Amino acid sequence: MNSINNTIDILRRRIPLMICLLIGISSTSIASEIADEKLTREEAIELISEVKHDLNLGKDCELEFVIDDEGNVKPSPIKIIKIYDKDNELLLEAPIHTVEQMSNKELRRLVNSSDFLIASYNTFYYRLDL
């Protein structure tokens, strides 16, 4: 009877550990599949054109402006995303002015496929290896 209770106690301690181990392994395998997603040159060009169209980057759009202490009027983007290729040529410069623009699906895919380089004064630099 005593050995049966010991076995039950051991199982009660080990089953949660086994469940956590299985969850960790499955999470790692799913995360590695997403992180390894690379874009082809054609997909990247298509995504860049969609982002430019969605964010109206080629057209004049209404921007919010900030007046600094000296009376100068400056546009106020939340952040600017710059994506370069492996030859350091600028592929996309996207000033983000609204939260809706930050949640753009194509822009997120481009950023997730790119390597983060540096952030400076609300400007985020990425490199996309094509």
Which pLDDT tens digit goes with each residue over 97-110?
777 888 888 899 89
pLDDT in tens, 5-38: 788 888 788 888 888 888 888 777 676 555 446 7
Query: Domain extents for the chain?
Result: 1-36, 38-128
pTM of the model: 0.60
How distant, in Å, are the alpha carbons of 3, 51, 55, 61, 80 from that of 126? 61, 15, 18, 25, 11
Give the confidence band of 61 by pLDDT, cuts at 50, 70, 90. Answer: very low
Listed range (33-47, 76-90, 110-124) with the worst mean pLDDT: 33-47
